A and B are shown apart, each in its own frame.
Chain A
Amino acid sequence: SAVISQKPSRDICQRGTSLTIQCQVDSQVTMMFWYRQQPGQSLTLIATANQGSEATYESGFVIDKFPISRPNLTFSTLTVSNMSPEDSSIYLCSVPRQGPDGYTFGSGTRLTVV
Chain B
Amino acid sequence: GENVEQHPSTLSVQEGDSAVIKCTYSDSASNYFPWYKQELGKRPQLIIDIRSNVGEKKDQRIAVTLNKTAKHFSLHITETQPEDSAVYFCAASGEGGYQKVTFGTGTKLQVIP
Contacts and interface: CB of A to CB of B under 8 A. Distances in A.
- Bound pair (A, B): yes
Which interface class (under 10, 10 to 19, 20 to 34, 35 or more) fits A?
20 to 34
Contacts, number: 49
A43 interface: yes
Interface in B56-105: 89, 95-98, 100-105
B44 interface: yes
A110 to B, nearest CB: 8
19 contacts: A30-B97, A41-B105, A41-B106, A42-B104, A42-B105, A42-B106, A45-B100, A100-B49, A101-B49, A101-B95, A101-B96, A102-B34, A103-B34, A103-B97, A103-B101, A105-B44, A105-B45, A106-B43, A108-B43
Interface of B: 32, 34, 42-46, 49, 51, 89, 95-98, 100-106
